[in-house]
Structure 1
Amino acid sequence: MSRVIQQKIERIRAGSAPRVLDLFAGCGGISLGFHAAGFQNIGAVEFDPAAARSHAMNFHGHLPEEMREVHAKARDITATEPFDLLNELGIEGIPEEQVDVIVGGPPCQSFARVGRAKLREVAEHPEAYLNDPRGNLYLRYLQYVTALYPVAILMENVPDVLNYGGHNIAEEVCEALRDLGYEARYTMLNAVFYGVPEMRERMFLVAYRQELECTDWFPSPTHWIDLPRGYHGSRQVAMKTIKRDLLDEETRFFIDPPEPEQAGLKPAVTAEQALSDLPKITDDSEQKLKKGPRRFDTLQFYPANTTLNEFQRIMRNWEGFESGEGIHDHVIRYLPRDYKIFARMKPGDQYPQAHTLANEMFEERLIEIQKKEGFRPLEGTERFEAEKKNFIPPYDPNKFPNKWRKMEANKPARTLMAHLGKDSYSHIHYDSQQARTISVREAARLQSFPDGFVFTGPMNPAFRQIGNAVPPLMAKALADIIKKQLTGNAVHVAQDRIEEVDAI
Structure 2
Amino acid sequence: MAAETETIEQISRNVPGRRVLDAATIAELREALSMLRDHRYTEGYTLTSHSTVAYELLKEMLESVPGIDDASAWWLLLTALDKPVWPADRQIDGLLVELGLLGPEDTPENGRHRKLESELSNRQIPALHRALAGHVNYCSEDHATTDCELKQFTLSHRIDRQVTAEGTEKPTVVDLFCGAGGLSHGFTRGVTGPEFDVALAVDEDEAATDTYRHNHPEIPHQKVRCDDIGNLAENTDEFEDLAPDVDLVVGGPPCQALSVAGYRSRRSDDDSYSVIDDPRTELYQHYVSLLDTLEPQYIIMENVEGIRSPVGDSDRRVIDDVEAALSELGYTTDHRLIDCSRFGIPQERDRVILFGVRSKTGSEPAELVTEFFETLIPDTETETTIHQALSNLPRLRRDEGGDVIAGRQRGRASKFVRDNELHSGTRLTYNHQAREHPMAKDQKLFSDVMEPGDNGWDVKYGTEYGHLIEYDVGTEENPKFKDKYRMLHWDEPSPTIVAHLEKDANSFILPDYYEYARPDVTKQDSARSRGITPREAARLQSFPDSYVFLGPFTSQFRQIGNAVPPVLGERIASVLGEFISDGSLAAASTSDSIAAKSDD
What range is the shorter-chain TM-score in? 0.5 to 0.7
Q: Does 1:84 align with 2:238?
A: yes
- Equivalent of residue 19 in structure 1, options 155, 166, 172: 172
Shift of 1:266: 6.1
- Equivalent of residue 156 in structure 1, options 302, 305, 315: 302
Letter in 1 for 2:200: G
Report what 2:510 is aligned to.
429
Contact 1:200/1:415, CA 8 A, preserved across alignment: yes
- 2-side partners of 1:412 and 1:135: how far apart? 31
Shift of 1:83: 3.5
Q: Does 1:280 align with 2:395?
A: yes
- Equivalent of residue 107 in structure 1, options 235, 254, 262: 254
- Equivalent of residue 214 in structure 2, options 54, 57, 67: 57
Report what 1:299 is aligned to.
405
Q: How many residues align?
A: 374
CA spacing shift, 1:496–1:312, aligned 2, 3 Å: closer
- 2-side partners of 1:342 and 1:144: how far apart? 48
SS where residue 491 of structure 1 aligns? helix
SS where residue 466 of structure 1 aligns? helix
- 1-side partners of 2:169 and 2:236: how far apart? 23
- Equivalent of residue 339 in structure 1, options 434, 443, 447: 443
Letter in 1 for 2:472: D
Report what 2:353 is aligned to.
204
CA spacing shift, 1:300–1:429, aligned 2, 3 Å: farther
- 1-side partners of 2:279 and 2:419: how far apart? 46
Q: Does 1:349 align with 2:454?
A: yes
Percent of aligned pairs with the same residue? 32
CA spacing shift, 1:316–1:141, aligned 2, 3 Å: same
1:86-235 alignment to 2 at 5 Å?
Answer: 87=241, 91=242, 97-108=244-255, 136-165=282-311, 166-210=315-359, 213=365, 214-215=368-369, 216-218=371-373, 220=375
Shift of 1:28: 1.1
Q: 31-40 or 187-196, which moves further after superposition?
A: 31-40
SS where residue 268 of structure 1 aligns? coil
Q: Please, what TM-score do these two structures have when normalized by structure 1? A: 0.67
- Equivalent of residue 75 in structure 1, options 227, 243, 261: 227
Q: 1:15-67: CA deviations, max 9, x gaps?
A: 821111111111111111111241112221111111121112112x356xxx6
- 2-side partners of 1:395 and 1:405: how far apart? 14
1:309-320 alignment to 2 at 5 Å?
Answer: 309-314=414-419, 316-317=421-422
Report what 2:29 is aligned to.
none
CA spacing shift, 1:56–1:86, aligned 2, 3 Å: farther
Contact 1:314/1:450, CA 8 A, preserved across alignment: no
Contact 1:101/1:151, CA 8 A, preserved across alignment: yes
Q: Please, what TM-score do these two structures have when normalized by structure 2? A: 0.57
SS where residue 107 of structure 1 aligns? coil
- 2-side partners of 1:450 and 1:54: how far apart? 13
- 2-side partners of 1:135 and 1:464: how far apart? 20
Shift of 1:176: 2.2
Contact 1:54/1:72, CA 8 A, preserved across alignment: no
- 2-side partners of 1:356 and 1:316: how far apart? 44
Q: Which of 1 and 2 has greater Rg?
A: 2
Shift of 1:346: 1.6
- 1-side partners of 2:591 and 2:553: how far apart? 55
- 1-side partners of 2:202 and 2:236: how far apart? 10
Report what 1:439 is aligned to.
533
Gaps of 5+ in 1: 1-13, 113-131, 222-257, 289-293, 363-387
Q: Does 1:328 align with 2:430?
A: yes
Shift of 1:313: 1.7
Report what 1:291 is aligned to.
none
1:466-481 alignment to 2 at 5 Å?
Answer: 466-481=560-575
SS where residue 206 of structure 1 aligns? strand
Q: 1:377-404: CA deviations, max 9, x gaps?
A: xxxxxxxxxxx9xxx3533343532101
- 1-side partners of 2:459 and 2:208: how far apart? 33
CA spacing shift, 1:146–1:266, aligned 2, 3 Å: closer
Shift of 1:347: 1.4
Letter in 2 for 1:83: D
SS where residue 355 of structure 2 aligns? strand
CA spacing shift, 1:54–1:394, aligned 2, 3 Å: same
SS where residue 299 of structure 1 aligns? strand
Shift of 1:85: 3.7
CA spacing shift, 1:444–1:497, aligned 2, 3 Å: closer
- 1-side partners of 2:422 and 2:541: how far apart? 16
SS where residue 453 of structure 1 aligns? coil
Shift of 1:86: 5.3
Report what 2:104 is aligned to.
none
Q: 1:252-303: CA deviations, max 9, x gaps?
A: xxxxxx5x66xxx4641111000131101136xxx25xxxxx851x323112
Shift of 1:357: 8.3
CA spacing shift, 1:312–1:497, aligned 2, 3 Å: closer
CA spacing shift, 1:315–1:444, aligned 2, 3 Å: farther
- 2-side partners of 1:473 and 1:420: how far apart? 21
Instruction: Say what the alpha-carbon RMSD is for the aligned residues.
Output: 3.1
- 2-side partners of 1:191 and 1:473: how far apart? 9
Gaps of 5+ in 2: 1-166, 260-277, 475-479, 516-524, 596-600
Contact 1:111/1:138, CA 8 A, preserved across alignment: no
CA spacing shift, 1:454–1:134, aligned 2, 3 Å: closer
Letter in 2 for 1:84: E
Contact 1:106/1:137, CA 8 A, preserved across alignment: yes
- 2-side partners of 1:159 and 1:470: how far apart? 14
SS where residue 485 of structure 1 aligns? helix
